[in-house]
Structure 1
Amino acid sequence: MHANRYQEVAIAALGAAPDVQSAEPWDRGDHTRGLHVTFTTGSQVWFGTAWAHPDGMKPDDDVVVHGEAPAEVPLPDLFDNGKVSPARAAEYLAAAFTNSRNTEILSVAAYGPENYNPGFGVRFHNGARAFNVIYHVARAGQGISGPAYQLPDTF
C-alpha cells in the first residue's frame, strides 16, 4: 500500500460503515492530510494521517503484498444518547476498516483514551503503516474551530 492509494482505500472502507454518512479526503494545505468523516447524526471527525514506509522502500514505491485480510469484528456502538465520543469514533472506524476485507491489510487497531489522542493505526502486509489521529471534531452543522487536538468529551 502506498500513502496516496491509502487515502482512496480508507475512504471506501470508512464510507461503507452503516453509521457513516460520508468519508472524504482532507488536506489542510500545510502538509496536514487525512480523512474527514461525517456520521449519520451530522457529527464530524477529522483525522490527520501520518505514513511509515516499509524498510528499504522509497516514498514513490508502491509494493503491493496480499495476504489474509483481518477477521471481521462486530461494529461497536458509536452513539451514546445520539452523541459520539472521540474514543468511540476511533473504535468504530477501526472496526469498519478491519471489516473492509482488504487483503493488503495485516491489522487495524484503535488508539484508546490512554493515548495522547484517539485514532487508529493500520498495518499492511508490505510493512507500511498508517497512523490516523483525531485532529478535530465537530457537532452537526459546525466546522473546524479551536486548536487542534483539544477534543470535547462528546460531539
Structure 2
Amino acid sequence: MLDRFTQFCVQALPSSGPDITAVQPWQGDDAPTYGITVTFSSGSRLWLQITGGLAPGTQAGEATTPPSGAVLEPVPLPALFDETGTVSPLRAEAYLTAALTHTDSTEIAQAYGYSSRPGQPAQHPGLGVILHNGARLYLPFVHTAKAEQDRGRSPFRLQSSF
C-alpha cells in the first residue's frame, strides 16, 4: 500500500497542482522507508514521510485489492505563495491537500491537512488520507528548503517560510 501510494504521488501530484514541478521518492541518507520530495515552481522543496494503517480486518502482509469508490470532488487550489513569493508549511499543507482532490483517484475517500482537522488540530503540519477501504495514510512534513538549499539534518524543524 505504501509503495503504491508513493508511486501514485510521484505520478499524479505534478499534474494536479500547477505550482508542483516535481515529486520524487525520498531516498538516501536518513530517508524514511517511504517518503516523497515535492518541488514547487519557486524551487523550494518539502520532504514528507509516508506511513499508514491497514484497513480494518486486514492482516499485515495479506494481499489486498486496491480500494475503489467515488472520486473526490475537487476543491479550489489555494494560493501556495505569499506576497513575497515564499511558501509556509500551512500554505503547503492546504495546497497539497487540495491537489490530492484533483488527482481523480478512485482509492481516496478523504484528504485533509493535519492543521484543519476538526476537534484538536495537530501542532505539526502534514497530510492525512483515508482510503475507501478504511486504510489510512499519514504524511507528516519532515524537512523544508528554500531554492538552492539542502534539506538540513534536523527533522521536523521546519522553516516558517521556504
Q: TM-score, normalised by structure 2?
A: 0.88
CA deviations 1:48-106 (Å, max 9, x no partner) are 11111112223332322211111010000000021000010011011101111111110
Alignment of 1:54-65 (within 5 A): 54-60=55-61, 61-65=63-67
Aligned twin of 2:100: 97
Number of the residue aligned with 2:131:
124
The question of whether the paired residues in 2 share the 8 Å contact of 1:63 and 1:126 is answered with no
User: How many equivalent pairs are there?
Assistant: 154
Q: Please state whether the residue corresponding to 1:62 is helix, strand or coil.
A: coil
Query: What percentage of aligned pairs have identical amino acids?
Result: 35
Structure 2 gaps, min length 5: none
* 1:77 to 2:79 alignment: yes
* Partner AA of 2:66 in structure 1: V
User: 1:67 is matched with which residue?
Assistant: 69
Contact 2:2/2:50 (8 A) holds in 1: no
Q: Aligned partners of 1:154 and 1:102: how far apart in 2? A: 30
One of 92, 109, 113 as aligned partner of 1:110? 113
Between 1:116-125 and 1:24-33, the stretch displaced more is 24-33
Tell me the secondary structure at the aligned position of residue 24 of structure 1. strand
Q: Which is further off, 12-21 or 128-137?
A: 12-21
TM-score, length basis structure 1: 0.92
Please report the RMSD computed on the Cα atoms of aligned residues, expressed in angstroms: 1.6
- Per-residue CA deviation, residues 104-143 of structure 1 (Å, 9 max, x unaligned), is 1101001128422111111101111110000000000111
SS at match of 2:93: helix
Aligned partner of 1:147 among 147, 154, 158: 154
Query: Structure 1 residue 42 and structure 2 residue 43: aligned?
Result: yes
Say which structure is richer in strand: 1
Partner of 1:4: 3
Deviating above 4 A after TM superposition, structure 1's stretches of 4 or more consecutive aligned residues are 28-31
Amino acid aligned to 1:133: P
Q: Secondary structure at the match of 1:112?
A: helix
In structure 2, give the amino acid aligned to 1:90: E
Once residues 70 and 111 of structure 2 are traced to their aligned partners in structure 1, the CA distance between those partners, rounded to angstroms, is 13
| Residue identity in the other structure for 1:9 | F
Q: 2:26 aligns to what SS in structure 1?
A: strand
Distance in structure 1 (CA, Å) of the matches to 2:38 and 2:114: 17
Aligned to 2:26: 26
